[in-house]
Amino acid sequence: MGTENKPKSSALESVVGANNRFALDLYMQYSSKDENIFFSPYSISTALAMTYEGAKGKTANEMKEVFHFPAKKALREGSAKLMADINSGEKDYRLNTANALWAEKDYEFIKKYFNTVEKHYGGKVSNMDFKNNYEGERQLINKWVEEKTFEKIKDLIPQGALDKLTRLVLTNAVYFKGNWLRQFDKEKTYEAEFRSPGGNVKAMMMKSEGEESKYNYAENDVMQALELPYSGKELSMLVLLPKEGKLSDLETAVRAGIIPSVRGSLTEQEVHVHMPRFKFETKYFMAETLKKMGMPTAFSESADFTGMTKKRELCISKVIHQAFVDVNEEGTEAAGATAVIVRELTCFKPAAYKVFKADHPFLFLIQQQGTGNILFMGRVSNPS
């Protein structure tokens, strides 16, 4: 049967559940446009969880609803365990995550807030001089992100995003590189038509077939589901391929929570796989999206971050997320990074075998096998 789950704490389960619900909610916000989608829900949720630790009142309540955060005790315990699990020991793949806080050196933050974030999220604080050198500090933060993502995420915070009134920047970075458990033979890769919404495009299709081509597979009236394990069998890619004309039906089913049942229905079968190589980057300026999802107060002059400082004069000005993915015959490389920028005073408004032929738009996610935690999620509309 499908993925085997390791025993896990209720706190860890609650954090994974919250992250995965947010992943689906956010995907739906971006799904209306016919374009590639890719993001790290884990990175975004983690950066905003650290921010949430400093929120109070209506600001905190809205953030909790949007991100489905559990009670503070469970959030802290589960986040710490999940981060430790991601960064744990020797593995057959590379998976790392890191958090950091960048605080204005002369601003009066509450020390307890920083202690809480460092203890439960591993986010150490660096003293910055945004008042006099915000451009230089921007470059320093971007360099940290670039190093943590092995140079895959560059210039996360664009010029002009920070100013003299910036008081705190919270960052998360996550990086993954893994080889398929059974790699595709490059000599079998062929050029084929991919039916993109904007018209057919040429794509390089990877192919796996024959008796050795056995994968966990399931299908129903709406989709075919294929699980591609990475070396070490602790991570896998779950590809959800809609049947003809069923993309909207698939997205509706995913939003309704079908993924756990799909995982449970997977069985090992001989499957002839045809899947495109793809590589692309995305960047999202998320303030308007998060407001629309239900947390406008954090971005307004009514924001309450008195868990960070005794003065009620901070709000979130920007949430920036950038992601990279490269899927080829050998495996997958993916990275994501998030920056939450907290500013003083006014905030900006702004046959015998199955055939799995992914020659039309499809969804995919990269997950931890043991917890089911969705690390990355995306849609391929145009692999070229």
The closest of 276, 280, 281 to 200, measured between CA atoms, is: 276
Instruction: Summarize pLDDT for 308-345 with one digit per residue, the tens.
Output: 999 899 999 999 999 999 999 999 999 999 999 999 97
263: burial class by Cβ within 10 Å (0-12, 13-18, 19+)?
A: buried
Length of the chain: 384
Instruction: Provide the pLDDT for residue 369.
Output: 85
Amino acid code (one letter) for 247: L
- Give the whole-angstrom CA distance, residue 249 versus residue 272: 24
Sheet bearing 278-285, strands edge to edge? 124-128, 94-104, 166-179, 331-344, 314-327, 278-285
- Give the whole-angstrom CA distance, residue 144 versus residue 140: 6
- Give the whole-angstrom CA distance, residue 186 versus residue 277: 11
- Give the whole-angstrom CA distance, residue 117 versus residue 80: 10
Instruction: Provide the pLDDT for residue 351.
Output: 58
CATH fold for the domain made of 10-178+279-344 = Antithrombin; Chain I, domain 2 (3.30.497)
Amino acid code (one letter) for 72: K
Instruction: Provide the pLDDT for residue 292.
Output: 97
Query: What string of pLDDT tens digits covers the 384 residues of the chain?
Result: 444 444 457 999 999 999 999 999 999 999 988 899 999 999 999 999 999 999 999 999 999 999 999 999 999 999 999 999 999 978 899 999 999 999 999 999 999 999 999 999 999 999 999 999 999 999 999 999 999 999 999 999 999 999 999 999 999 999 999 999 999 999 999 999 999 888 889 999 999 988 788 999 999 999 999 999 999 999 999 999 999 878 899 999 999 889 999 999 999 999 999 999 999 999 999 999 999 999 999 999 999 999 999 989 999 999 999 999 999 999 999 999 999 999 997 664 445 667 888 888 989 999 988 888 899 999 999 887
Q: What is the DSSP letter of 11?
A: H
355 phi and psi angles, rounded to 5 deg: -115, 120
Instruction: Provide the pLDDT for residue 8.
Output: 55
- Give the whole-angstrom CA distance, residue 340 versus residue 346: 16
The closest of 168, 103, 362 to 251, measured between CA atoms, is: 362
Residues 6+ apart with CB under 8 A from 136: none
Per-domain residue ranges for the chain? 10-178+279-344, 180-278+352-380
Q: What pTM does this model have?
A: 0.89
The 3-state DSSP class for residue 267 equals: strand
The 3-state DSSP class for residue 57 equals: helix
- Give the whole-angstrom CA distance, residue 278 versus residue 139: 30
CA angle 288, 289, 290 (to 5 degrees): 95
267: burial class by Cβ within 10 Å (0-12, 13-18, 19+)?
A: exposed
CA distances from 237 to 59, 228, 247, 274, 323 (A): 35, 5, 19, 15, 17
What CATH homologous superfamily does 180-278+352-380 map to?
A: Alpha-1-antitrypsin, domain 1 (2.30.39.10)
Contact (Cβ atoms closer than 8 angstroms) between residue 171 and residue 99: yes
10-178+279-344 and 180-278+352-380 share one fold: no
